[in-house]
Amino acid sequence: MGGGETHPYRTYRGSRMRVLVTGGAGFIGSNLVRELARGGEDVTVLDDLSTGSAGNLTGLPDTVRVETGDVRDAGVVRSAAQRAEVLYHLAAVPSVARSVIDPITTHRVNVDGTLTVLEAARSAGVRRVVYASSSSVYGDTPVLPKDEGMPPAPMSPYAASKLAGEAYCLAYGHVFGIQTVSLRFFNVFGPRQDPASEYAAVVPRFITRMLAGERPEVFGDGRQSRDFTFVGNVVQACVLAATAPEASGHVVNVGCGESTSLVELVDIINDLLGTSVEPTFSAPRPGDVRHSQASISRAGDLLGYRPAMSVREGLAETVRWFSELQGGRRDARTASGLST
């Protein structure tokens, strides 16, 4: 941003900060990379493109370097981290459902990969590691909102892998003096989220089906609830966590502090689209929790975090993005002579 304009998510230090973002071609990672680039940071992306997409990183300035590699490869990670002051570790197998089907790969990427990243950070003298954890570590405890003092109770291999990553972050802080902050993300949604994957999150699946006039599929009775969190809020928390002086050594919830059921989610999307599409209902999925809502008081105290966008505002932005994306695809198919 030029002309002396300040940015709401960033503390300007008068110099460019060198950062590494693992998983930077993914949904959350690419939104973070774009924000860091807008802030003038010197960004390196490391991604194996197994779930991320190079298309998520188009149009970025030359201050962003993209390296293709696996976070389990110690040499690759060490090379990517050698210039970094801050390392955002977002690379992961990001799915409860996939972890139930393939727990070994989930462990190897999410746990072994995190250990490899921390070792690389130690070797390179990285000042701070910001680790992307998950609200799934709380499990299905009935108490709401969920706060960081509650005992974890992971219900899936994915949740267990994220909790293990948190433990390694804390251990590396205690033993090696690396500053680490673990952010427990709550049901992130927004632009660039892939709706086509078998393991796609509920918001992009609902929006794309409803845009096409198709009924969204709800697993369970639809009364289960989530703290849906717009990706811009998560990016805000990540950037704040890189420099917040009191945050090191802590786990911090990142959410909106609101709870929305799946049937309410369908109603909001219908309202935004001006439609009245009814969902279908299928059997609940193993490993899914019933209710989730974040206490975000610690995020406010330690990071200065306040959600910049409400659930409805975030859904409006996301619906707009997917509408434009689908419109562009239709235009491209028409121009090429293909039927729509």
Q: For the chain, what are the domain ranges? A: 18-192+229-257+292-309
Question: How many C-alpha atoms does 11 have within 13 Å on its Cβ side?
Answer: 13
* Whether the Cβ atoms of residue 239 and residue 205 lie closer than 8 Å to each other: no
Distance set, CA 266 to CA 12, 43, 82, 210 (Å): 40, 37, 46, 9
Q: What ranges in 39-95 are assigned the alpha helix state H?
A: 74-81
Question: How many C-alpha atoms does 32 have within 13 Å on its Cβ side?
Answer: 31
Which residue numbers in the chain have pLDDT < 70?
Answer: 1-15, 199, 328-340
**In angstroms, rounded to a whole number, what is the distance separating the alpha carbons of residues 255 and 275?**
28
pLDDT, position 5 = 35
pLDDT, position 130 = 98
pLDDT in tens, 6-44: 333 334 344 689 999 999 999 999 999 999 999 999 999
pLDDT, position 286 = 85
Give me the helix-helix angle, 113-124 and 157-176, nearest 10°. Answer: 20
pLDDT in tens, 112-158: 999 999 999 999 999 999 999 999 999 998 899 999 999 999 999 99
pLDDT, position 329 = 54
User: pTM of the predicted model, to two decimals?
Assistant: 0.90
| Topology of domain 18-192+229-257+292-309, CATH | Rossmann fold (3.40.50)
* Whether the Cβ atoms of residue 186 and residue 198 lie closer than 8 Å to each other: no
Which one-letter DSSP state was computed for residue 54?
G
Parallel, antiparallel or unpaired: strands 225-226 and 260-261: antiparallel
pLDDT, position 328 = 54
Tell me which residue has tokens 């990379």.
33
Which one-letter DSSP state was computed for residue 146?
B
146 pairs with which residues across the strands? 294
